[in-house]
Amino acid sequence: MRITEFSNPRMAQAFVDYMAAQGILLRIERENRYTVWLDDDSKVNQVENELGQFIREPNHPRYQAASWHSGTTDSGIHYQSTSLITHIRERAGPLTLAVMAACVVVFILMQLLGYQTVMGWLTWPNADQHDQLWRWFSHALLHFSLLHIVFNLLWWWYLGGAIEKRLGSGKLVVIMLISALLSGWMQAKYSGVMFGGLSGTVYALMGYAWLRGERDPQSGIHLERGMMAFAIIWLGVGYMGWFGLSIANAAHVTGLLVGLAMAFVDTRKKKTS
C-alpha cells in the first residue's frame, strides 16, 4: 500500500526509521519523488496516524533519534545537494513566492529611487486618495531596512507557505487581504499614513497558525507555543519602546487579533462536533 511521497529524501528516511523503531517496516522507492510503501496493510491506521504527527513536526528530536539508533546505511537513497532557492520553493506556494518577490522588488526600488518616491505610490491612502484602491493593501509591501524585510519575509515564508500548501492559496489570500486592510486602518488611526511592512499580516499568520494548531491539530497547521510566546513578548518590547525600536504596534496587535478570530471561525465546527 502506498502511504505517501516526499520530495526530500532525508524526510522520507526519517519517517521510515521512526516507524521501524515502532516495529513497522516501510520501504522507499525512488521515482520522481520518494514514495513510501507499506507491505502489511493491517498496520495502515497506525502508520497514517504517525504520518500526520510527523508532517506537523518533522524536525522533532524523536525522528532524529530513530535514525541514529537504526544505524543502517543501505537505504538506497542517494542524496543530492539542493539550492536555497529549491528549498524555498518546496515549502512555498505561488502566492507566497509572489508576495516575497513583490516585497523584494519594492525594497530595491526604494533604494534606487528613494523612500519618499516609492512611499508616494504605495502608502495607506490619505483623505484625497481613498479611490486609489491598491493603497489599502500595498502598504504591506514597504520595508525600511534590511532587517525589517528579512524578518518579515522569513516569517511570511515559514507560516504563509505552510498555510498555502496545506489549506490552499485561497485561504492565504483571504488572511493576507483582511489583515493588511484592518491592521493598516488601525495603524493609520494611531500614527498617520506614513508606515509600511508585512508585519501586520505576519502577526495574523502567527495567531492563525497557533490557534488553528491548538483547536484542529489534524489540519497540519501549527505554531509552537514558545514561538507564540515570543510574538507576545515582542509586542511588549514594542509598546515599552525598548532598544530604541520603532514598531507599528497597532498593526501588530490588530493583525494578531484578526488571525486569532479567523482561526476560531475556521475551527468552530471542529470543537462542536
Nearest alpha carbon to residue 166 among 108, 228, 216, 112: 216
For helices 146-155 and 94-113, the axis angle rounded to 10 degrees is: 170
Instruction: Give the separation between CA 172 and CA 160, rounded to whole angstroms.
Output: 7
SS (H, E, C) 55-119: HHCCCCHHHHHHHHHHCCCCCCCCCCCCCHHHHHHHHCCHHHHHHHHHHHHHHHHHHHHCHHHHH
- Closest by Cα among 188, 205, 174, 193 to 251: 188
Q: What's the one-letter identity of residue 265?
A: V
DSSP state of 242: G
Q: Tell me the catalytic residues.
A: 199, 252
Cβ pair 12, 28 in contact under 8 A? yes
Q: What does each C-alpha distance from 143 to 86, 104, 134, 151 come to in angstroms?
A: 25, 9, 17, 10
